[in-house]
Amino acid sequence: MTHSVPHTMQPYADSRATGRTHGALDMLFERTADGRHILSRLSRRAPMIVQQALYFDSQWPELPCVYTLSSGGPQVEGDRYSQRIELRAGAAAHIASGAATKVAEMTRDYSAVDTLITLGEESYLEWLPEPTILCRGARLHTSTRLVVNPSATLVYSEIYMAGRLHRGERWEFDIMSARTTASWTDGRPLWNEHLVVNPNSESIRTAGVMTHFDVWGSVTVLTRGEYADQIYDMLPSELTAEGDVAVGVTHLPNGAGLAVRIVGDESARVKACVRGVCDRVRRVVCGRRLPEEFPWR
pLDDT in tens, 209-246: 888 899 999 999 999 999 999 999 998 766 555 678 99
Give the C-alpha separation, 218 to 149, whole Å: 21
pLDDT tier for residue 17 given thresholds of 50, 70 and 90: very low
3-class state of residue 287 by DSSP: coil
* Residue 7 resides in a domain: no
Residue 218 near residue 258, CB atoms below 8 Å: no
Q: Is 7 exposed, middle or buried (0-12, 13-18, 19+ CB in 10 A)?
A: exposed
> Could you tell me the CA-to-CA distances from 148 to 40, 41, 114, 145, 195 in Å, in that order?
19, 19, 17, 10, 22
203: how many CB neighbours lie within 10 A of its CB? 9
Written as one string, the DSSP assignment of 57-81 is -TT-TT--EEEEEETT-SB-TT-EE
pLDDT tier for residue 12 given thresholds of 50, 70 and 90: very low
**Residue-level pLDDT at 216:** 94
Question: Per residue in 42-94, pLDDT tens?
Answer: 999 999 999 999 999 999 999 999 999 988 889 999 999 999 999 999 999 99
Question: Per residue in 260-291, pLDDT tens?
Answer: 999 999 999 999 999 999 999 999 999 999 99
Question: How far from chain centre, in Å, is Cα 20?
Answer: 24
* Residue 292 resides in a domain: no
* Residue 129 resides in a domain: yes
Q: Kindly report the pTM of this predicted structure.
A: 0.90
**Residue-level pLDDT at 20:** 63
Whether pLDDT at 207 is above 90: no
Q: Which segment of 14-18, 65-69, 138-142 scores lowest on mean pLDDT?
A: 14-18
> Could you tell me the CA-to-CA distances from 285 to 162, 207, 221 in Å, in that order?
33, 35, 11
> Could you tell me the CA-to-CA distances from 137 to 17, 30, 117, 166 in Å, in that order?
22, 41, 30, 17
**The CA-based dihedral angle spanning residues 9, 194, 181, 24, taken in that order and rounded to the nearest 10 degrees:** 40
Strand partners, 214: none
Question: Per residue in 166-194, pLDDT tens?
Answer: 888 999 999 999 999 999 999 999 999 99
* Residue 295 resides in a domain: no
Whether pLDDT at 5 is above 70: no
Give the C-alpha separation, 287 to 297, whole Å: 25
**Residue-level pLDDT at 238:** 63
* Residue 1 resides in a domain: no
3-class state of residue 253 by DSSP: helix
**Residue-level pLDDT at 211:** 86
* Residue 296 resides in a domain: no
| Structural domain boundaries, residue 28 | 12-286
How many domains would you assign to the chain? 1
3-class state of residue 283 by DSSP: helix
* Residue 2 resides in a domain: no
**Residue-level pLDDT at 40:** 96
Residue type for 282, please?
R
Whether pLDDT at 2 is above 70: no
Residue 67 near residue 51, CB atoms below 8 Å: yes
Q: Which segment of 8-17, 232-241, 245-254 scores lowest on mean pLDDT?
A: 8-17
* Residue 3 resides in a domain: no
Higher pLDDT, 136 or 9: 136
Whether pLDDT at 296 is above 70: no
Give the C-alpha separation, 48 to 68, whole Å: 7
